[in-house]
Amino acid sequence: MSKKVRVRIAPSPTGDPHVGTAYIALFNWVFAKKNGGDFIIRIEDTDRTRFNEKSEREILEYLKWLGLDWSEGPDLGGKYGPYKQSERAHIYREYVDKLLSEGKAYRCFCSEDRLRKLREFQNSRKLPPGYDRKCRSLTEEEVESKIAQGMEFTVRLRVPLEGKSVVNDLLRGKIEFDNAKIDDQVLMKSDGMPTYHLANVVDDKLMGITHVVRAEEWIPSTPKHVLLYRAFGWEEPVWVHMPILRNADKSKISKRKNAVSLKHYHDKGYLKEALLNFLALMGWHPKSDEEIFSLDEMIKEFSFDNMHLGGPVFDVKKLNWINREYIKGKSNRELLDLCGIEYSEFKEKIVGEVKESVYTLEELKEKVDFFNADPYENIIRSDNREKMLSIIKDSSTVIDYFRSNLPAVENLDEAKSFIELMKSDLGLSPGKILPAIRVVTIGSLSGVEAAKMLSVFPKDEIVRRVESVLKRVYE
């Protein structure tokens, strides 16, 4: 019988919650759902110098926003806890002791200073960097005496000097590494804290992780992990290294070229469905050509067999297009709620008019706020202020006619026929009428078509606006 699928993400809380974390979480989550498995979160915070509590909180908060729920984690606890590596130091120590007693690891007493000089020496001779294994052959007596002298030490893995380590990656096949080129990696630092490699392997094993699904940037670390599994005599998980997200120039996605914080996408008003759909397309595609799909549809069709491995470019234009599709799919009322705008019938209608012309909720909110604002305020805030004020002054006949004859308009056709009537009664071209109507109603020269505006705004509201503009212009 095959084991229950258990997957995890293991973020290091060192900064803003990253889109790359959401992308990897999404694939782990979908794979778990597809297989009736568990998706868990473990916090890898053993590097205490870079640790940041806010970052840990926000990673969980923004994954929750995306709806990628987990069944075990630092906030929920679970059978295999604690789920924060800083709280598991005693566990790693036990496993390090086991490797030491079996001679699979050794104590290294080299000082920071020696290691730095070694690196500089290797650098100057263009040699590959790495530990020269000075302490690998210390006798037991030598080790005891150094400990007795109170010398600090790290613990390193005794990497085989010959042979190969093979990473069998589900997406990439066998990747071979010469053991001779693998460093005798540090497993435990002198302060007793484990390194990433040790903690990561021990935790994946103890937490029953069946598939390690992570970004391809971890491939160089994986032979070290494979060697550790071997040293412990443990069965390896299935390795799945996902293509990393890239900037347009194909370099690894970075702050300087792309917004990478989930906060940014949340605050700009990208819908979580849109962001997830977009991230899914970075590594996977349904069999049809359809680019808009729900998580349920993805779960139904998902398999690592149809992943694409080409470097996926994080293209915000594409994300915008997807976001617009999802915005169009929401009701006007839902969009008001999502924008945090208090409901009114009028605002709901405005949303209906402008939602197809925006890419984000932020833009939508700006537009609704704009149409809802006092038109005179919009005029004086605009770069076209002078132009609009002179249109008002030059259009008194148009504005008088408009204000006195405006009927209660029920629909677009009625609005259009009123404008036609206006044109013929006043004997003026649309260019003389439409800008004036727009300026006194919304305080803008562009935006919504004038006839549309008349069909959206209640008559009383328009008259109130026109009067208030005139009052402020002439007072």
Report, as residue numbers or ranges, the catalytic residues.
255
* Number of residues binding to ligand GLU, judged by CB under 6 A: 7
Torsion of CA 206, 207, 210, 216, to 10 degrees: -100
In what side-by-side order are the strands of the sheet with 105-108?
Answer: 105-108, 154-157, 186-188
Least separation, in Å, of the C-beta of 48 and ligand GLU?
14
> What single letter denotes the amino acid at residue 13?
P
Residue 42 CB, nearest approach to ligand GLU (Å): 8
What count of other Cβ atoms lies within 10 Å of the Cβ of residue 181?
Answer: 12
Helices (H), 9-111: 19-34, 53-66, 89-101
Q: Work out how close the CB of 13 gets to ligand GLU at its nearest, in angstroms, rounded to a whole number.
A: 9
Q: Residue 237 or 447: which CB sits closer to ligand GLU?
A: 237
- For residues 199 and 47, give the distance between their C-alpha atoms in angstroms, rounded to a whole number: 11
10 binds ligand GLU (CB under 6 A): yes
Smallest separation, CB 357 to ligand GLU (Å)? 39
DSSP 270-299: --HHHHHHHHHHTTB--SSS-----HHHHH
Query: Does residue 218 interact with ligand GLU by CB under 6 A?
Result: yes
Query: Shortest Cβ distance from residue 313 to ligand GLU (Å)?
Result: 21
CA distance 36 to 247: 34
With contacts defined by CB under 6 A, name the span among 7-15, 65-73, 350-358, 437-445 that binds ligand GLU: 7-15
Nearer to ligand GLU, 65 or 218 (CB): 218
As given in the structure block, the two tokens for residue 339 are 């924008």
Q: Which position among 11, 73, 74, 443 is part of the footprint of ligand GLU (CB under 6 A)?
A: 11
398 by Cβ neighbours in 10 Å (0-12 / 13-18 / 19+) ranks as: buried
Site for ligand GLU in 188-217 (CB under 6 A): 200, 214
CB nearer to ligand GLU: pick between 10 and 327: 10
For residue 214, the minimal CB distance to ligand GLU (Å) is: 3
Select from 8-16, 111-119, 173-181, 465-473 the region that touches ligand GLU (CB under 6 A): 8-16
Check residue 33 for interaction with ligand GLU (CB under 6 A).
Answer: no
Question: Considering the complex, what minimum distance in angstroms separates the CB of residue 20 from ligand GLU?
Answer: 8
Please report whether residue 44 would count as binding ligand GLU according to CB under 6 A.
Answer: yes
d(CA 437, CA 435): 5
State which residue, 44 or 353, has the beta carbon closest to ligand GLU. Answer: 44
Reading the block at residue 85, the tokens are: 């590596």
Question: Which position has the token pair 């208090």?
Answer: 342
Bridge partners of 313, per DSSP, are 246
Query: Residue 59 or residue 354: which is nearer to ligand GLU going by CB?
Result: 59
Q: Which is nearer to ligand GLU, 47 or 377 (CB)?
A: 47
Alpha helices in 157-242 (DSSP H): 196-206, 222-232
Residues pairing with 122 in the sheet: none
Task: Examine residue 12 and tell whether it contacts ligand GLU (CB under 6 A).
Answer: yes
Which C-beta is closer to ligand GLU: that of 262 or that of 350? 262
Tokens of 435: 């800008």
Which window, 5-13, 59-67, 228-236, 253-261, contacts ligand GLU (CB under 6 A)?
Answer: 5-13
Q: How far apart are the first and last CA of the chain?
A: 85
Minimal distance, residue 238 CB to ligand GLU, in Å: 13
Q: Which is nearer to ligand GLU, 14 or 190 (CB)?
A: 14
Q: Give the CA distances from residue 384 to residues 366, 391, 399, in Å, rounded to whole numbers and listed in that order.
A: 18, 11, 19
**3-class secondary structure, 457:** coil
Comparing CA positions, the residue from 419, 393, 390 lying closest to residue 406 is 419
Place of tokens 């690592």: 304
Applying CB under 6 A, which residues contact ligand GLU? 10-12, 44, 200, 214, 218
